[in-house]
Amino acid sequence: MRLAGKSALITGGNGGIGLATARLFVAEGAKVAITGRNRQTLEAAAAELGPNALALVADATDVAAMEAAVARAVERFGKLDIVFANAGIPGHTPLGGTTREAFEKVIRTNVTAVFFTVQAAVAQMNDGGSIILNGSVISVLGSPGYAAYAASKGAVRAMSRVMASELSPRGIRVNVVAPGAIRTPIWGAAVATPEAEKAFEARIGRATPLGHLGEPDHVASTVLFLASDEAAHIQAQELFVDGGATGAPSGAPIYR
């Protein structure tokens, strides 16, 4: 068990990548507090995860709610060893078709809320802990229509480096996991029906050197690695889990 005796907080732990990570953490011996806004999916996740999980309704953009969630997690499981700031939203923000509100919603959720999640958590964290932020390949791909989202994930990378500097004296590591396209509900209409999902899968596969869409477990196992002692000397890094999409784009099937 790679996380025996550890306690963890995962924001957005009621679905997609966050829930896959919570499952793996519990299987590896951790006690895990998960947060999200949707009470129903949180309760379903907690029922599935069992007694070593605690589900807490908390909007990550609400600083007081996150502080309260951290306090409840600590009360139940003791001081935190691991934080996965995973909650995030997509957003279509093309030049010429975007309101300030739409743009700022993405920044508020994916940047400001991540900062305040970490701020609330570090006050209740053991020295020597591990913080993982969820980034994205979109931060480097220049994908059209994604200005706010790309900026938010670039900001996540930049913030992680500052946090790593500030927290190194306490032995707390801060790293980023940067997924490529992963099969989760975040893709909305693109994965809403079996036909749409099939077309999406084929499109992503053609643009990915390894030839297929990523699964939540691909990211969860990377987060587990970064959270565990196996990554004890890894600090301020960004690990891409994208089948080669950013590192070797010319190897994608469309170029063969």
Query: Which residues of this protein are in contact with ligand NDP, per CB under 6 A?
Result: 11-12, 14-18, 35-38, 41, 59-61, 86-89, 109, 134, 136, 179, 181-182, 184-186
Of 37, 41, 87, which is closest to residue 58 (Cα–Cα)? 37
For the bound state, the minimum distance from the C-beta of residue 152 to ligand NDP, rounded and expressed in Å, comes to: 8
Cross-strand bridge partners of residue 56:
35
SS3 84: strand
Residue 149 annotated to the active site: yes
How far is CA 113 from each of CA 3, 19, 73, rounded to the nearest angstrom? 26, 19, 18
For the bound state, the minimum distance from the C-beta of residue 46 to ligand NDP, rounded and expressed in Å, comes to: 13
103, 93 Cβ separation under 8 angstroms: yes
For the bound state, the minimum distance from the C-beta of residue 35 to ligand NDP, rounded and expressed in Å, comes to: 6
CB of 65 or CB of 126, closer to ligand NDP: 65
Query: Assign residue 145 a region: left if phi > 0, alpha if psi is -120 to 50, beta otherwise?
Result: left
CB of 126 or CB of 201, closer to ligand NDP: 201
Annotated catalytic residue: which of 25, 149, 200, 240? Answer: 149
Task: Catalogue the active-site residues.
Answer: 149
